[in-house]
Amino acid sequence: MICKENPAKVHLTQIVGDKMQKVDLCEECAKKKGVNDPSAGFALADLLLGLGASQEIAQSSGGEDIKCPNCGFTGADFKKAGRLGCSQCYQTFADSLEGLLKTMHKGTKHVGKVPIALRHSRDLSERLKHLQKKLEKAVTAEDFEQAASLRDEIKAAKDQIEHLAPKLTP
């Protein structure tokens, strides 16, 4: 608490590197700091994602407001809401988000659960690479019989991937 008088109602968390700072404010202090007055231009993004988040968004967009081609969400909207417009926004605002994600999470790459359809397609593309290598070898060795059967297998794998594709383009 800042004033150490009234009970804290507004709690701010700031994450810098791997350190976390917490600020607890009572309603009055929060008002003084403009935290609970949206008209004062306080960004909810700062509240939700840590202080400085909105600045980072503004900086990385180079002053120009980027707009998501899928949902029309802008960097200014993100600054206001602290949330994104749609799943494609993660591509649209990738540059702005990179730094944020680093401070917010343990890593920047997902290592957890993967939908099974995607796991299949990963397996398939690995199989495809493997088959193509084998084909090259067969061709160099002039083993045309094996090359022909490999070509069939490759075609089948490609078909399967294409079949999965519409579901899997991010």
Q: Which residues bind another protein (CB under 8 A)?
A: 11, 20, 22, 48-49, 70-71, 73, 77, 81-88, 90, 97, 100-101, 104-118, 167, 170
Q: With contact defined as beta carbons under 8 Å apart, do 47 and 35 qualify?
A: yes
> What 3-state DSSP class applies to 100?
helix
Dist CA 61 CA 141 (whole Å): 54
Q: Is 73 left (phi over 0), alpha (psi -120 to 50) or beta?
A: beta
What minimum distance in Å lies between the beta carbon of 39 and another protein? 20
In whole angstroms, what is the distance from residue 74 CA to residue 33 CA? 26
Supply the minimum distance, in Å, between the C-beta of residue 74 and another protein. 11
What would the two tokens of residue 13 be? 């968390």
Q: 90 or 144: whose CB is closer to another protein? A: 90
Nearer to another protein, 110 or 142 (CB): 110
Name the minimum Å distance from CB 156 to another protein.
23
Shortest distance, position 162 Cβ to another protein, whole Å: 17
Tell me how far apart the alpha carbons of residues 113 and 119 are, in angstroms, rounded to a whole number.
Answer: 10
Cβ at position 21, least distance to another protein in Å: 10
Q: Report in angstroms the alpha-carbon separations of 156 from 19, 37, 44, 148.
A: 51, 61, 51, 13
